[in-house]
Structure 1
Amino acid sequence: MNVFDCVVVGGGPAGLSASLTLGRARRKIALFDDGTNRNRVTHAAHGFITRDNIKPQEFRELGLKELENYPSITYFHATITAITKAIGNEGFIIKTTDGQEFISEKIILATGIQEIFPFEEVRNFYGKSLFSCPYCDGWEMRDKPLLVLAEKEDHALHMAKLVYNWSKDLVVLTNGGPLSEEGVTALEKRDIKIVVDPIKKLIGDDGYLQAVEFVSGETIKRAGGFVVPSFYRPNHFVEKLGCEVQEDGTAITDGAGRTTEKNIYIAGEMEKSAPSSLINSAASGQNAAASVNMDLTIDRF
């Protein structure tokens, strides 16, 4: 059976960064990833200095290639199905879909999150003309006729204020959700149109939006825009391993990746169950790895 100092679950920017840091610290590391990272649907990632406009797959491949320089790191393209505490809570047993088992002293959870859209057809356009992060994709959508799709008023107002920096030609869609008089006034002061009617369908070709048709029969032309999804963790490792979470789903940590369960760490979007930039996720992964390395050092010195 394979025995490791630390298993890193998830090969996004957080997991890659954590693995690199631990590999450079000469720790025996296993990195597991199954290629389901949520940014795989987009053509390019932005905002990571020296890597602006890089394709997500290229970013991942570059990261994995760099890990090859460190012989103590082993990469597995596999899905982990179970993580259980070993007898006496000394380490963990990790099982994969292909029947393999591994033992690790410590675990970093970095599998990220996934989206639930207010209108499921958004998925057909997501990553090409509809996005969730203006900082990531606002520049590419600048000055185009855009929409903001959000069913809750606070989300709609927040996103509209942000997107307005990149385009003044803006329509807010609530897909049937109500807006208060104050909310309507705030948007109309900026000449932002509001449509509260439920959406019937999105019209476009090959992922590029052209128009939105509503149940009322109205149709508006739009070239793209930004949506406010809700997010969830794609697995239940946090809960099953007993890590405490706040009411909003954020994992409780010490600020450096350590959860409330000994030897379990968390990094990247999985910690807050909320979206993050590549560069922030990578930083989170490095911080968690530094905590792992320090704890291993203290345990063994």
Structure 2
Amino acid sequence: MILDCVVIGGGPSGLSAALVLGRARKNIILFDEDKPRNAVTHESHGFITRDGIKPSEFKKVAKADLIKYPNISVHNQRVVDIKKENNYFLIYSADGNTYQSRKVILSTGLKDVLPSIKGINKFYGTSVFICPFCDGWELKDRALVVIGEDERIFHLTKLISNWSKDIIVCTNGNTVLTADQKQLLLSKKIAVTESEILSLEGVDGNLKRVLFKNGKEIVRDGGFMVTGLEQASPLAEKLGCLIKKNGGIDTDEFGRTSVEGVYASGDNSLSTSPQLITAASEGSKVASRVILDLIDEDF
């Protein structure tokens, strides 16, 4: 059987896309390797009716919604390769099976590359986060550190100031802020240190201190950081999709990539914020475009 669409990636974007496609009577498969970007996250926030839900529980509830539709199949498998032949796609899964589909949605997401700082992994997802919209409320009014090694740290610090006024900016030995930016931060009583960080210390995932290689230290209750980002899957590159300078998959406003029949949804285009509700919305929008394109082809 030739499928109407294959959705690769079982995050909120892929799950949402699968639901919209299924309810449009399209025969689809959702492939979910189950290696989410938010694996370290204990709770997800900002999604109405699901605020505070565990990511694993969110996925469980979402898949229960999907399996009610007989035209939706969920395969807990990794897709190892995709090839386009004429107007169809051959999808190869890790268990050795091959599938044929008219359309493909890549909801494969991104991977965070953390700053190379000793101990940072112990606190990531518990008391040090990347998105204030997701976790700012939990750290409100605390003594926070903002860690970043490039110019994005200024924008992040401005955001964090909405939730706490007790902020220290650490660039980990990098000169990335302009003189004007430093002066503006200081005028807001936000201290800046460019000293190289030795390690983060705390107990049971709760940050307590930031230690520097010059022997100094600061006491902090939590923080946020700027991370590097890279594609979680090489499939877009294998298909020949155009990649933007920032590493995101290049798409139009409807999620269509440079390869006809291939769409991207979620944060892998690096054009949306890393929020649960935003990713789900993106999946719904892209799936709607796939449906319209299929109808146009068949009508």
Name the TM-score, length of structure 2 as normaliser. 0.95
* 2:231–2:248 contact (8 Å) kept in structure 1: no
Q: Secondary structure at the match of 1:40?
A: coil
CA distance in 2 between partners of 1:274 and 1:228 (Å): 16
Q: CA offset at residue 275 of structure 1? A: 4.3
Pairing 1:108–2:118 present: no
Amino acid corresponding to residue 288 of structure 1 in structure 2: V
Q: CA offset at residue 190 of structure 1? A: 1.4
1:234 to 227, 232, 235: 232
CA distance in 1 between partners of 2:97 and 2:37 (Å): 26
Question: 1:118 matched to which residue of 2?
Answer: 115
Amino acid corresponding to residue 236 of structure 1 in structure 2: P
CA distance in 2 between partners of 1:212 and 1:22 (Å): 48
Q: CA offset at residue 200 of structure 1? A: 0.7
Question: 1:47 matched to which residue of 2?
Answer: 46
* Cα distance change of structure 1 residues 274 and 205 upon mapping to structure 2, 3 Å threshold: farther
Q: CA offset at residue 273 of structure 1? A: 6.7
* Cα distance change of structure 1 residues 126 and 37 upon mapping to structure 2, 3 Å threshold: same
* 1:19–1:73 contact (8 Å) kept in structure 2: yes
Question: 1:140 matched to which residue of 2?
Answer: 138
1:92 to 89, 94, 99: 89
Question: 1:19 matched to which residue of 2?
Answer: 18
Q: Secondary structure at the match of 1:140?
A: helix
Percent of residue pairs bearing the same amino acid type: 42
Amino acid corresponding to residue 31 of structure 1 in structure 2: L
> Which segments of 5 or more consecutive residues in structure 1 lack a partner in the other structure?
none
Map 1:141-160 onto structure 2 (within 5 A): 141-152=139-150, 154-160=151-157
Question: 1:245 matched to which residue of 2?
Answer: 243
Q: CA offset at residue 141 of structure 1? A: 0.2
Q: CA offset at residue 237 of structure 1? A: 1.6
Map 1:234-273 onto structure 2 (within 5 A): 234-272=232-270
Question: 2:278 matched to which residue of 1?
Answer: 280
Aligned length: 297
CA distance in 1 between partners of 2:257 and 2:201 (Å): 45
* 1:113–1:234 contact (8 Å) kept in structure 2: yes
* 1:250–1:271 contact (8 Å) kept in structure 2: yes
* 2:272–2:278 contact (8 Å) kept in structure 1: no
Q: Secondary structure at the match of 2:207?
A: strand
Write the deviation string for residues 157-203 of structure 1: whole angstroms up to 9, x where unpaired: 11111111111111101000113322221111111122211111110
* 1:233–1:273 contact (8 Å) kept in structure 2: no
The alignment yields a C-alpha RMSD, in angstroms, of: 1.4
CA distance in 2 between partners of 1:142 and 1:294 (Å): 44
Q: Secondary structure at the match of 1:41?
A: coil
Amino acid corresponding to residue 111 of structure 1 in structure 2: T
Question: 1:35 matched to which residue of 2?
Answer: 34
Amino acid corresponding to residue 100 of structure 1 in structure 2: N
* 1:84–1:94 contact (8 Å) kept in structure 2: yes
CA distance in 2 between partners of 1:51 and 1:5 (Å): 30
CA distance in 2 between partners of 1:156 and 1:25 (Å): 43
* 1:116–1:230 contact (8 Å) kept in structure 2: yes
CA distance in 2 between partners of 1:211 and 1:272 (Å): 32
Q: CA offset at residue 245 of structure 1? A: 2.8
Amino acid corresponding to residue 113 of structure 2 in structure 1: I
Question: 2:129 matched to which residue of 1?
Answer: 131
Q: Secondary structure at the match of 2:64?
A: helix
* 2:3–2:27 contact (8 Å) kept in structure 1: yes
* 2:120–2:199 contact (8 Å) kept in structure 1: no
Write the deviation string for residues 100-147 of structure 1: whole angstroms up to 9, x where unpaired: 211111100001101011235422211110001111111110011100
> Which segments of 5 or more consecutive residues in structure 2 lack a partner in the other structure?
none
CA distance in 2 between partners of 1:156 and 1:294 (Å): 40
1:191 to 189, 192, 207: 189
Amino acid corresponding to residue 26 of structure 2 in structure 1: R
Name the TM-score, length of structure 1 as normaliser. 0.95
* 2:19–2:66 contact (8 Å) kept in structure 1: yes
CA distance in 2 between partners of 1:26 and 1:190 (Å): 55
CA distance in 2 between partners of 1:275 and 1:131 (Å): 14
